[in-house]
Amino acid sequence: MNKQKLLLQYITFDLFAAMLVWILFMIFRKTVNDAQVFEDVNVFVPNFNYFSSLIIYPFTCLFIHYLSGFYLHPERKNQVQIIFTSILSSAIISISIFFALMLDDIVISYEYYYYSLLVLFGLQLVFTYISRTIIWAGVRNNYRSKRWKTNTIIVGTGKNAEKMAKEIEINSQKNFVTGFIQVDNAISVDKERILGNLAQLGSIINEQQVEEAIISLDNADEQRLFSYINELYKYNIDIRFTPRLYEILTGSARIGSIGINPLVSITQINMSDFEISIKRFIDIVISTIALLLMTPLFIYFGIAIKRDSKGPVFYKQERIGRYGIPFDIIKFRTMHQGAENGVPKLSSADDERITRIGRILRKYRIDELPQFWNILKGEMSLVGPRPERRFYINQIIGEAPYYCLLYKIRPGLTSWGPIKIGYSDTIEKMIERLNYDIIYMENMSLFNDIKILVLTVEIIIKGKGV
């Protein structure tokens, strides 16, 4: 299955549905009330304003569909989700467009006004739902006929792995088990279906075009389980594992697409697609505005940094981000040039390597402001766990192997962990901060993001950054 092609299909169908809705709605207004779209301009007379609205309306629809989260994972959508998102987006589109473009219309009565609103909503809902259902029916038929499949590998070769493969074959229309990855000496599966071991994982995923991995072991302690998860995260595929008693009791185990067999997803975020899309949109808007408005501030501190000590204004450092992918984080330089000399070293409030201006920047967290550029690029988010260097992650994993759970979301400019712990100058504090970040991740919501941003502003104002 080509996910990009499927997404393009949905966008194209939504675009043409919106254009058809707008044309039909204009015909309705002309027929029912002999309405005029703009003053002294009849609806059927070609003019710039009329044709511009025919363009503006469809693209406004696409924008609202994006915010609804429908385009985030279109291959996972079912009929219930299609109905719900179609109703939600159609309501928002009809209300916003109607009041934005038609408040100045000369109408006979408000009864006609609201009647028109209902007609616009009805047209938008019907055509959006029908066009999406046509595509969804094609997707379902492709899975049923096995023309499409989600190639899945099972990590493990014991009895649980064998049971898992049988469950998939019986209950799943989407998943197709391409084979098994051997991680120990327990072998209950057909040896011919063993594709290799963990050392060969990368080549196996590429050759088999794997989209999902399920860890199914007979006896797995926490250390082993998360070591395998760490290996799988490198390849940006869906990762699940068979739940232990803890995951069942805490409600982490979910009955997913595979059917009756409950699995714990490591890569799916505990946030609706709607909230994820809104969160990313807010990231883009705020980071763009911040970079524009703070340009004079950047220039001022840039000059102050250059006067205070030798070296560049900005400091780049490799950090590990979403899916375990490295990226260069950008900060104002707060230490003397060559402070580490290639050997990572944690800083503290009284660190002699920090410059005079650097102490001020750290106290009010001004040194972090250039990271709005990382946010705009999609490497970070406004709210999310702080990204760490590989050197320290390896040490943290030795004590807290579940660190890899943070890889499923974008790292952030601020989060619950930094608010509670502040600057982490020891591995112990990093692990404590990690635990708060795990709590945040399990309770992600736009409301919680807003609370964290408010608390961060309070810390900045009071100068509690260090």
The mean per-residue pLDDT over the stretch 429-457 comes to 90
Task: Flag the least confident range among 73-77, 89-93, 240-244.
Answer: 240-244
pLDDT of residue 252: 53
In CATH, which of 3.30.300.130, 1.10.1040.10, 3.40.50.1370, 3.40.50.720 is domain 150-265?
3.40.50.720
pLDDT class of 464 with cuts at 50, 70, 90: low
Those residues whose C-beta lies under 8 Å from the C-beta of residue 9, and which sit 6 or more positions away, are: 135
Angle at 208 between CA 203 and CA 214, to 5 degrees: 90
**In this structure, what is the dihedral angle of CA atoms 191, 193, 194, 200, given to the nearest 10 degrees?**
150
**CA separation, residue 181 to residues 15, 157, 168, 214, 384 (Å):** 44, 7, 16, 10, 33
Residue 248 pLDDT more than 60? no
pLDDT of residue 448: 93
Kind and range of the H or E run holding 264: strand 262-265
**CA separation, residue 287 to residues 376, 419, 454, 455 (Å):** 6, 20, 16, 18
Q: Closest by alpha carbon to 239, among 229, 231, 224, 225?
A: 229
Each domain of the chain, given as residue ranges in start order, spans 3-144, 150-265, 273-462
Cα–Cα distance, 274 to 270 (Å, whole number): 12
Task: Flag the least confident range among 116-120, 214-218, 461-465.
Answer: 461-465
Those residues whose C-beta lies under 8 Å from the C-beta of residue 381, and which sit 6 or more positions away, are: 279, 280, 283, 375, 409, 410, 411, 412, 413
Burial of 260 (0-12, 13-18, 19+ CB in 10 A): exposed
CB 65 within 8 Å of CB 14: yes
359-384 as b/e: b if 16+ CB within 10 A? ebbbbbbbbbbbbbbbbbeebbbbbb
310-335 as b/e: b if 16+ CB within 10 A? ebeeebeeebbbbebeebebbbbbbb
Judged by DSSP in three states, 348 sits in coil
The mean per-residue pLDDT over the stretch 251-269 comes to 63
Residue 280 pLDDT more than 80? yes
The mean per-residue pLDDT over the stretch 430-443 comes to 89
Average pLDDT over the chain, rounded to whole? 85
Residue 169 pLDDT more than 50? yes
Task: Flag the least confident range among 62-66, 132-136, 149-153, 419-423.
Answer: 419-423
pLDDT of residue 326: 93
pLDDT of residue 234: 81
The mean per-residue pLDDT over the stretch 409-435 comes to 86
Provide the 10 A C-beta neighbour count for residue 340. Answer: 11
Where does 145-272 have alpha helices with state H?
Answer: 159-171, 201-208, 222-233, 245-250
The mean per-residue pLDDT over the stretch 290-315 comes to 93
Task: Flag the least confident range among 44-48, 80-84, 243-247, 372-376.
Answer: 44-48
Cα–Cα distance, 242 to 217 (Å, whole number): 8
pLDDT of residue 333: 92
pLDDT digit string (tens) for 325-342? 999 999 999 988 877 776
Could you tell me the two tokens for 409? 């979301």
Residue 108 pLDDT more than 70? no
Residue 406 pLDDT more than 60? yes
Could you tell me the two tokens for 59? 């693209």
324 conformational bin, left if phi > 0, alpha if psi -120 to 50, beta if neither: left
pLDDT class of 62 with cuts at 50, 70, 90: very high
151 conformational bin, left if phi > 0, alpha if psi -120 to 50, beta if neither: beta
Could you tell me the two tokens for 73? 């994972």
Name the residue type at position 302: G
Residue 255 pLDDT more than 80? no
Cα–Cα distance, 396 to 430 (Å, whole number): 7
The mean per-residue pLDDT over the stretch 102-106 comes to 52
Residue 114 pLDDT more than 70? yes
Could you tell me the two tokens for 94? 């009809």
Those residues whose C-beta lies under 8 Å from the C-beta of residue 195, and which sit 6 or more positions away, are: 153, 178, 179, 180, 181, 204, 208
Could you tell me the two tokens for 169? 């074959």
For helices 273-293 and 446-462, the axis angle rounded to 10 degrees is 30
Bridge partners, residue 175, by sequence: 150
Residue 199 pLDDT more than 60? yes
Q: Closest by alpha carbon to 119, among 14, 16, 30?
A: 30
pLDDT digit string (tens) for 369-393? 999 999 999 999 999 999 999 999 9
Bridge partners, residue 181, by sequence: 155, 196
Task: Flag the least confident range among 81-90, 368-377, 434-443.
Answer: 434-443
pLDDT digit string (tens) for 10-54? 999 999 999 999 989 888 877 776 544 445 444 443 344 556 677
Cα–Cα distance, 378 to 374 (Å, whole number): 6
Cα–Cα distance, 363 to 300 (Å, whole number): 17
